[in-house]
């Protein structure tokens, strides 16, 4: 499902080794390609940072800022890496420090849907939530883990973004007026 306007997305790779140029990032580019091909997203920013809670939190906050009209510059931020159990895996903590509203159900669904592939999916501590009208998802760092987790929620991602944008009316309000100038009504 492609949205109008298209999803504006950013992908953040979290890796000490990639940030130092000692390894090649494969997860970030793969996630960008999935978002372009499957959601019709426009990738407006990418970055690679080390496993540093302050740098990660600043990036999430920076990318979630609104434009001069008060609209989100970026609808969706996906990070890859730093969600495991290693001592330097701090991406969930960085995200939680700036999230306005957590949405644990999205990552719970991703883990549940990935369970048939590997029980190791539950080793990821990935979180999801919003800052203003920007949705943030923190995915595992491996190519397989990140793409499988995104694939697991790709079917509901466009609706989630429409909802965060304030464009959805599917709760039975017959005379709702959207703030954005359009109301998306989904069949029940």
pLDDT tens-digit map of 81-104: 999 999 999 999 999 999 999 999
pLDDT attached to residue 84: 97
| CATH number of the structural domain spanning residue 156 | 3.40.980.10
pLDDT attached to residue 179: 54
- Domain hosting residue 62, numbered range: 8-165
In the predicted model, what is the mean pLDDT of residues 135-148?
A: 98
Residue 176 lies in a domain: no
In the predicted model, what is the mean pLDDT of residues 47-73?
A: 91
Q: Look at residues 97, 61, 63, 80 and name the one whose alpha carbon lies nearest to residue 15.
A: 80
Residue 147 lies in a domain: yes
pLDDT attached to residue 70: 73
pLDDT tens-digit map of 28-39: 999 999 999 999
Residue 28 lies in a domain: yes
Residue 181 lies in a domain: no
In the predicted model, what is the mean pLDDT of residues 127-147?
A: 97
Residue 185 lies in a domain: no
> With bands split at pLDDT 50, 70 and 90, how would you rate the model's confidence at 187?
low
Residue 182 confidence (pLDDT) above 60: no
Other Cβ atoms less than 10 A from the Cβ of 114: the count is 22
Domain count, the chain: 1
Residue 147 confidence (pLDDT) above 60: yes
- Of residues 6 and 173, more confidence is placed in 6
Residue 80 lies in a domain: yes
> With bands split at pLDDT 50, 70 and 90, how would you rate the model's confidence at 185?
low
Residue 188 lies in a domain: no
Burial-class residue 185 by CB neighbours within 10 Å (0-12, 13-18, 19+).
Answer: exposed
pLDDT attached to residue 177: 59
Q: What is the CA radius of gyration of the chain?
A: 16
Q: Look at residues 10, 11, 91 and name the one whose alpha carbon lies nearest to residue 51.
A: 91
Reported pTM: 0.90
Contacts of 54 (CB under 8 A, 6+ apart): 94
Residue 173 confidence (pLDDT) above 90: no
pLDDT attached to residue 175: 65
Residue 3 lies in a domain: no
In the predicted model, what is the mean pLDDT of residues 146-153?
A: 98
pLDDT attached to residue 176: 62
């Amino acid at each position: 499902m492609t949205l109008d306007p298209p999803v504006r997305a950013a992908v953040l790779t979290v890796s000490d080794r990639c940030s130092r140029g000692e390894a090649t990032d494969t997860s970030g580019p793969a996630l960008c390609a999935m978002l372009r091909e499957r959601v019709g997203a426009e990738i407006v920013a990418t970055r690679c940072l080390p496993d540093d809670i302050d740098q990660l939190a600043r990036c999430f906050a920076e990318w979630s800022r609104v434009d001069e009209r008060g609209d989100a510059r970026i609808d969706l931020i996906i990070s890859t890496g730093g969600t495991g159990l290693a001592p330097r895996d701090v991406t969930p903590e960085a995200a939680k420090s700036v999230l306005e509203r957590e949405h644990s159900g999205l990552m719970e669904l991703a883990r549940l849907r990935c369970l048939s592939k590997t029980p190791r999916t539950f080793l990821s501590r990935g979180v999801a939530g919003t800052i203003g009208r920007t949705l943030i998802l923190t995915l595992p760092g491996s190519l397989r883990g990140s793409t499988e987790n995104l694939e697991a929620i790709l079917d509901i991602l466009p609706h989630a973004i429409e909802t965060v944008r304030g464009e959805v009316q599917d709760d039975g309000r017959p005379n709702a007026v959207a703030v954005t100038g359009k109301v998306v009504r989904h069949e029940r």
